[in-house]
Chain A
Amino acid sequence: MKRPRPPTWLERQRYLLDFTLSSLGRRKGKNLALAALYTLVVFALASVLLYTQALRSEAMRILEGAPDLVVQRVVAGRHDLIPGDRVERLSKIRGVQEARGRLWGYYYDASARANLTFLVPDRFWGKPGEVVIGEGVARTRLAVPGEPFPVLAADGEVVVLKVRETIPSFSELVSSDLVLLSEPDFRRLFGIPPGLFTDIALTVPNGKEVSTVAAKIRGQMPDTRPITRAEITRTYEAILDWRSGLVVLVLAAALLSFGIVAWDKASGLSADERREIGVLKAIGWDTSEVLAMKVWEGAVISLSAFLAGLLLAYFHVFVTPAPLLAPVLKGWSTIYPEFRLTPVLNPFIVSTLFLLTVVPYTVATVVPAWRAATTDPDEVMRS
């Protein structure tokens, strides 16, 4: 008689996996409860990671259009208006292609109970007396194109401007609370005399010269503060990292309790499971095979909970407006931009999540699993 060929390593693992799946199916209740909890933990952490990553890429995309260098005047440590003659002086610095005075500011709108950003764009396409408003402003003030837009000026008078159009919503994160207007209107509203600007934006085509130019400005105009785009980027990154790290730290408590539950579940073997292992050993299974089955069991639970949690989080962050997280991570502005984030999912997030969730689960269950795998069959049969 010909003896059957012994199974290869891969086939063995497949049979073990097959058996594990049917064995898990026999104890649906217990395993589903654990998997649901696991999914919840993955979901919470994945939501934080996906949301920050998406915010970060959104912020970076916006900052790509920011000026290379912004020069502010500082008086007694406070930001002050900068005289227009500085524009001329700054544009003469070698390496600077263009210097441009900017006018922008905040306006507290009592009726909407929110801060609006007023900005004079580089080339305002409307006529004096007209404004172009962001979607958030349009929402809270119920303003549509053609309607009047009354604003309280700095001298107490009400200036009535007219809404020309609303800014399309493709970049609502930045434009939501924005009001664009012409230079004369801006000076009239805030009482800023001609020749003064909020700050000065510089164009420095060669990225390597930015820090040199900044140093020169510090030398020539000691009362100013040059801010490079890299510094702004860095600050955004640091804030987003810090916020998401803080939320993850809070979730660490949840992770810890999940680990305890997993450990408890894995060490408290039911009579059924003990009998199963006893029978397996009695029919000739090796300790290493039972252990391999236990490892597969952990892998199956981890993988399904991981994928389910990740999918749910993806749905939560990118399909719904992330109702559980947005208030913590987005900011505290009164006019929330209602933006849809561009989906970001990369190996970086997946591996972070893997180390954050699968490692604690595995560490918590490996010793109980081994203990279960090494129980003596006779001990089980007798009990």
Chain B
Amino acid sequence: MILHPSVLALVGSALLIGALLLYSAYWGARILERWDLSSGSEVQLGLERRTHLVSTLLGYVLVFGIASLFLFVFTADSLAPLFTGAMCAAGSLKASPYGYPVLLLQIGGFSLAGIWLIVNRADSLGHDYPLVRFKYRFLLAITPVLLLEMMLRAAYFLDLKPEVITSCCGSLFGTGGRGVGSDLAGLSPPLAGGAFVILLAGAVAAGLLFRLVGRGGWALGVLSALLLPVGLAAVVSWLSPYVYELPTHHCPFCLLQREYRWIGYPLYGALLAGSLTGTGVGVLMPFRSIPSLAGTLPAYQRRLAGWSVGLLAVLAALVAAIVAGSQLRIS
């Protein structure tokens, strides 16, 4: 255990947010069990009020989730000097078997919470709580993921012991090593980069089509959902060497540092938010036939698609600028 203020902040907030989540999940289960819109009973009224509480709580979970994701990477980065051979977050995440699972669960949990909020917003567009059952089943499904992430996060920090020999980011993401990191780095860069560019172009095209004609929502949803994992893999195996201008350096965390003009923040931000809004469009597709949503849902989806197209266009511009502006040429 390392008694670092940020570690305390991350573990403490995980406990508090976990408590909020459990509370929401409890009420989610109650709502699923007792919900009956046709009844005017006290219980039903109480449940209708609870829905407001649960959506507010989930909103907070998302906001705090973004803050903790950011702080988690930052803390891992600043703990690096405590581990022999660790030079950035890559090394300190490797110092415990929980490190990378926590990071992946955090990204996944964050995306799920974001999609929940999109569904929640769509639900509020209809007058008769049209998505209430789907929404709370979904909530019960994502709660374990989020709770697992918080438990593993605490376990990660408890497990950390300074001076454990770990690899530095150069060798961890080098092509010779083993583990998730080097598997990603070992992906053929043209393959990963090509898949990423094709998916990105496809998602933007589908988004534009949906925005203009109102068709292709499913395609947009599927392509943007795939874009997140493929995009992250492509950053490691294909894009990061362009940033570092070094064909062997594949670290996804050094992108967040001053030396590389903090390029990682807009890059990851646009990737996450763009793929999230696009996926949201796809998730909402089955509900277009619900009578109380027929009038409002398509407009909301078009707005989401607009955001998605805009963010993905920013992402594409960033990627193009990185590749074009780099001294490195990969043939």
Contact = CB atoms under 8 A, between A and B. Distances in A.
A32 interface: no
**Considering residues B9, B57, B82, which has the most beta carbons from chain A within 10 angstroms of its beta carbon?**
B9
Given A288-B124, A348-B6, A354-B67, A359 B13 contact: yes
Interface string B1-18: 011111111101100110
Given A347-B74, A362-B60, A246 B3 contact: yes
Contact of B5 (A245, A359, A370): A245
Given A360-B16, A373-B52, A48 B5 contact: yes
A356 B9 contact: yes
Contact of B81 (A233, A356, A360): A233
Contacts of A260: none
A237 B160 CA distance: 15
Interface string B144-181: 00000000000000000011000000000000000000
A241 interface: yes
B52 A370 contact: yes
Contacts of B13: 355-356, 359
A52 B78 CA distance: 13
A363 interface: yes
Interface in A243-269: 244-246, 248-249, 252
B17 A359 contact: yes
A367 interface: yes
Interface in A338-383: 347-348, 351-356, 359-360, 362-363, 366-367, 370, 373-374
A353 B57 CA distance: 21
Given A238-B162, A244-B5, A352 B64 contact: no
Interface in B1-60: 2-10, 12-13, 16-17, 19-20, 49, 52-53, 56-57, 59-60
Nearest to A348: B74
A282 interface: no
A351 B163 contact: no
Q: Secondary structure of the A side of the interface?
A: helix
B59 to A, nearest CB: 8
Contact of A367 (B6, B17, B53): B53
Contacts of A230: 81, 84
A45 B6 CA distance: 11
A125 interface: no
B70 interface: yes
B263 interface: no
**Considering residues B13, B20, B59, B163, which has the most beta carbons from chain A within 10 angstroms of its beta carbon?**
B13
A351 B9 CA distance: 9
A348 B82 contact: no
Interface residues of B, number: 36
A245 B82 CA distance: 15
B20 A366 contact: yes
A52 B71 CA distance: 17
Contacts of B10: 355
Contacts of B16: 359-360, 363
Contacts of B163: 234
A355 B80 CA distance: 21
Interface string A112-130: 0000000000000000000
Interface string B56-80: 1101100010011011001100100
Interface in A76-90: none
A351 B52 contact: no
A237 B5 contact: no
Given A355-B64, A360-B16, A362-B60, A245 B3 contact: yes
**Considering residues B56, B64, B124, which has the most beta carbons from chain A within 10 angstroms of its beta carbon?**
B56
B260 to A, nearest CB: 15
Interface string B257-298: 000000000000000000000000000000000000000000
A370 B67 contact: no
B3 A249 contact: yes
A99 interface: no
B277 to A, nearest CB: 14
B299 to A, nearest CB: 13
A359 B64 contact: yes
A49 interface: yes
Nearest to B60: A362
B50 to A, nearest CB: 9
A52 B8 CA distance: 15
Given A245-B7, A359-B13, A237 B82 contact: yes
A233 B84 CA distance: 11
A104 to B, nearest CB: 25
Nearest to B66: A351
Contacts of B17: 359, 363
Given A48-B5, A348-B74, 7 more contacts: A52-B5, A234-B82, A291-B52, A348-B71, A359-B64, A360-B12, A366-B56
Nearest 10 interchain pairs by C-beta: A245-B3, A355-B9, A370-B53, A374-B49, A241-B4, A352-B6, A355-B13, A359-B13, A351-B71, A356-B9
8 contacts: A230-B84, A234-B82, A234-B163, A238-B2, A241-B3, A242-B3, A244-B5, A355-B71
Interface of A: 45, 48-49, 52, 211, 230, 233-234, 237-238, 241-242, 244-246, 248-249, 252, 287-288, 291, 295, 347-348, 351-356, 359-360, 362-363, 366-367, 370, 373-374
Interface of B: 2-10, 12-13, 16-17, 19-20, 49, 52-53, 56-57, 59-60, 64, 67-68, 70-71, 74-75, 78, 81-82, 84, 124, 162-163
